[in-house]
Amino acid sequence: MAQATISETHTRDLDRDCTTLSRHVLEQLQSFGPEAQDLSALMQRIGLAAKLIARRLSHAGLVDDALGFTGEINVQGEAVKRMDVYANQVFISVFRQSGLVCRLASEEMEKPYYIPENCPIGRYTLLYDPLDGSANVDVDLNVGSIFAVRRQEFYDESHEARDLLQPGDRQIAAGYVLYGASTLLVYSLGQGVHVFVLDPSLGEFVLAQSDVQIPESGQIYSVNEGNFWQWPEGYRQYIREMHRREGYSGRYSGALVADFHRILMQGGVFLYPETVKNPAGKLRLLYEAAPMAFLAEQAGGKASDGQQPILVRQPQALHDRCPLIIGSAADVDFVEACLAESVP
C-alpha cells in the first residue's frame, strides 16, 4: 500500500514535469498533424529564446557590454539598450533554419526580417517585443518579452508586410515571458491561458497553472500617474475615483509584462492612456497591446483603446501605437464609462 502511494506521487510529479511547452501545444490542439507539430516546435523555440535571454539577464552585471545604451535610436525614436539588441537577435538566431517562421517583425526593426531559407515552407510570422520594460534592466528589475503568431499570408518582396495590418483577432497564438524572481512563460492558442515556470534544474518550462481566469474585478490600478495632467479628462476622473475608494492600491513597475501579469493573477486594471507627449498612446498595437488583449480575453477579461476592443482595432502601420486599458472586465468597463461621461 505504502509503495502504491509513493508511486502515485512519483507519477503525478513526473506527469507535471513532463508537461513541457511542446507537449502542451499538442495536447491543446488534440492533434499530431503538421499544423500542430509546427506550432509545438514554434512554442518550443520561443521557450529557447526565453531561456537564452533569461541566462544573459541572470549575470548581466558581470558581463562586459550587457547593460547600458548602444548610443543608437530605434525606429520608435527611443534610445536602444544593449539588452534590446541582444534579445532581438536571440529571436532571429532561434528561428533561423527552423523551417517554421518566414518573417519576424519586432519593435527593434523598422521592417520585418525575412528568413529566406524558411520562406517556402514557413507558415507563420512572429511579431515580438524582444525586451519589454528595458528601462528596468540596468536596475535589475522585471522585464519581459511579448510575442504574437500570425499566419504568413504571402511573400512580400517589398518587406512592407501589408498582410500584417489586420486586427488582433487574426492572431493564432500570443504570450509573454516574465523575467522575474522566476522566469514565467504565459501563452494562449485561443484555448485558455496557461502559465509555465522555467525549472532551472531541468532547463525546461513546466506547466504550473492551466486555464487561468482573471478575477471579474480587482483593487489594483496600474498607471504612470506622472502623466496625470497629460491625460484626457475621463482618465483623470477615473483615478480621482480610485483615490476616493478604500482598499485600492496603485502598482506600476514600468514594464507592461510585469504589470499585466499582476493584473492577470490578482485582478484590476492596467492603463496607458494617450498623453500630450504620445497623443496616439505609447504602447505598440501589433506586438504589445494586441497579444496582451488576446490573453486578457482568453482569461475572461477585457482590453480596450477607450473606444473599441483592442482586438478589432485596425492597424495602419507596423509600429502603430494605441491607448490601452486592460484587465478585469468590470474595471475596464468602469474606465470606459468614465471616458464616455467626460465626452463634452
The burial of 76, by beta-carbon neighbours within 10 Å (0-12 exposed, 13-18 middle, 19 or more buried), is given as middle
Complex with Mn ion: residue 107 or 274, whichever CB lies closer: 107
Q: Which residues pair with 272 in a beta bridge?
A: 324
250 lines the binding site for ligand AHG (CB under 6 A): no
91 vs 124, which CB is nearer to Mn ion? 91
Which among 169, 165, 80 has a CA at the least distance from the CA of 130? 80
- The entry of ligand AHG, Mn ion, none near residue 224 (CB within 5 to 8 angstroms by kind) is ligand AHG
Distance CA 334, CA 97 (A): 48
What is the rounded distance in angstroms from the CA atom of residue 184 to the CA atom of residue 197? 5
Site string for ligand AHG, 55-84 (x = CB under 6 A): -----------------------x------
Q: Which residue in the set 19, 125, 134, 142 belongs to the binding site for ligand AHG (CB under 6 A)?
A: 134
Q: Does 282 bind ligand AHG (CB under 6 A)?
A: yes
Contact flags string 120-139 toward Mn ion, x per CB under 5 A: ---------x-xx-------
Q: Is 232 in the site for ligand AHG (CB under 6 A)?
A: no
Instruction: Decide if residue 320 touches Mn ion (CB under 5 A).
Output: no
Least distance (Å) between residue 293 CB and ligand AHG: 14
**Shortest Cβ distance from residue 141 to Mn ion (Å)?**
14
Residues in CB range of 169: below 8 A, 6 or more apart: 311, 312
Task: Identify the residue among 38, 129, 274, 320 touching ligand AHG (CB under 6 A).
Answer: 129
- Segment lying near ligand AHG (by CB under 6 A), choices 9-17, 128-136, 185-193, 308-316: 128-136
Strands 249-250 and 220-222: parallel
145 near ligand AHG, judged by CB under 6 A: no
Q: Residue 331's binding partner, choosing from Mn ion, ligand AHG, none, with beta-carbon cut-off 5 to 8 A by kind?
A: none
The reply on whether position 274 binds ligand AHG by CB under 6 A is no
269-272 sheet: strands from edge to edge: 249-250, 220-222, 269-272, 324-327, 302-304
CB of 41 to ligand AHG, least distance (A): 26
Give CA–CA dist 286/274, Å, rounded: 17
- Asked if residue 146 lies in contact with residue 290, where contact means CB atoms within 8 angstroms, the answer is no
Which residue stretches of 245-328 are H helix? 256-266, 290-298
Cell (9 digits) for 116: 529566406
d(CA 175, CA 198): 15
Q: Which residues form the interface with ligand AHG (CB under 6 A)? A: 78, 107, 129, 132-134, 224, 254-256, 272, 282
Q: Which residues form the interface with Mn ion (CB under 5 A)? A: 107, 129, 131-132
